[in-house]
Amino acid sequence: MSQDTNPYHIAIKQLEMAAEKIGLDPNITELLKHPKRVLIVSVPVKMDDGKVKVFTGYRVQHNPWRGAYKGGIRYHPKVDLDEVKALAMWMTWKAAVMDIPYGGAKGGVVCNPKEMSQGELERMTRRYTTMILDEIGPYKDVPAPDVYTNPQVMAWIMDTYSTIKGYAVPEIVTGKPVSIGGSLGRLGATGRGVAICAREACSKLGMSIKDARVAVQGYGNVGYHAAVIAAEMGARLIAASDSKGGVYNPSGIDPVKLREHKQQTGSVLGYPGAEEITNEELLTLDCDILMPCALESVLTEKNAAEVKAKIVSEGANGPTTPQADKIIYEKGILLIPDILANAGGVTVSYFEWVQNLHREQWTEEEVNQKLERKMVKAFNDVYQLAKKENVDMRTAAMILAVQRVAEAFKGLFP
């Protein structure tokens, strides 16, 4: 039987599994399987050559029971509706696991930002924003960055929204530049959470993160910060990759120099003193901590048995298929699921939103300390539940999240 790697099907399977474990009312399970709203827009953009190109954009709002919708916007040629629906559902669980007052949403535009000029990206972002404007809002739906969107894109969204409203509305998006209301510590927050979870997992396994060998797939925002913060905790980065391939050096790679090399050359490939490896080889490398920080469904039935890491801390959303989950659990690997491991980003997004609503600015130290407390608490909540229920960490995180979301349900309107 061929493996189903459709992220939405996977998200539904994960929900069904958790719902069954807690004996959830089947009517609530049915409600939670479907996003509350799906918006599809055709975004016309005047390209630099004068021709108009129409891009497909999505905004999916999964569930609002615990608070305003919250979720990133992805620019990628392979964005599709099922992917955005899955990502929106995972956001609902993520906010619930972290116990922050948000529901789940996600957006995306099918485009290749690598082939677009800054002007084209700006016009596309501003037009997309106007087309989803009625459905977003500071108390309604608050977008954030995701793959190939960054603080600049968030600034365009805020400026477009504010221009139409007639006053500055920083709380409409998170992940903004600090100069216009972004939070200190936001850029590195997701990676910080991935590293904190890896450190906590090390202590549960009776090992130290000091000198632990780390391999990172996807050396972007999340992967880079996870590597740097793990290195600050004493770990050793031995491999990293991007869409072009990976590099490996068992004696250690300087994470900051590797990023400088990627910024200068466009890839981690060719980093001095390191051997080239494929993305596939990186995933099954002999290491202590594996951090998949690129895209979905990279750990599958085909390669899971070959994973040698003792800990997997999921920086990316949905990097592991359910079949792979089972194999990894049976191998005794401690896998920290995406809805916990990469929730540092949405947590500091929440801090950013709170600061904006109160027109305050917290110090980076304050933000990092609050994040540390939230991550450690959530990790331990999930870990203890996993032990109690004798299940893997993903199932435990899902049980916790689904229970919290279901608890907020007040019944059908009218």
Interface residues with ligand NAD (CB under 6 A) are 145-148, 190, 217-223, 241-243, 279, 293-295, 315-317, 342, 345
Smallest distance from the beta carbon of 207 to ligand NAD, in angstroms? 25
* Least distance from ligand NAD to the Cβ atom of residue 361, Å: 20
19/62 with CB nearer ligand NAD: 62
In whole angstroms, give the CA distance from residue 398 to residue 338.
Answer: 11
Q: Kindly state the smallest distance separating residue 353's Cβ from ligand NAD, in Å.
A: 14
Between 197 and 391, whose beta carbon lies closer to ligand NAD?
A: 197
CA distances, 165 to each of 8, 134, 155 (Å): 35, 11, 15
C-alpha to C-alpha distance for 238 and 289, rounded to whole angstroms: 10
Q: What does the alpha-carbon distance between residue 80 and residue 400 come to, in Å, rounded to a whole number?
A: 28
- Check if 70 is active-site: no
Rank residues 212 and 316 by Cβ distance to ligand NAD and give the closer one: 316
| Measured torsion, CA atoms of residues 217, 222, 225, 229, in degrees rounded to the nearest 10 | -80
CB of 125 to ligand NAD, least distance (A): 15
**Residue 38 in contact with residue 73, Cβ under 8 Å?**
no
Q: Mention every residue, 6+ apart, whose C-beta is less than 8 A from residue 413.
A: none
Distance CA 193, CA 191 (A): 5
Question: For residues 24 and 378, which CB has a smaller minimum distance to ligand NAD in the complex?
Answer: 378
Contact in structure between 240 and 216 (CB atoms under 8 Å): yes
CA nearest to 131, candidates 154, 105, 111, 161: 161
Q: Which of 70, 85, 94, 106 is catalytic?
A: 106
d(CA 307, CA 24): 34
- Residue number, 285 or 406, with CB nearest to ligand NAD: 285
Please state the closest distance from residue 7 (CB atom) to ligand NAD, in A. Answer: 10
Distance from C-alpha of 222 to C-alpha of 52, rounded to nearest angstrom: 34
Catalytic annotation, residues: 106
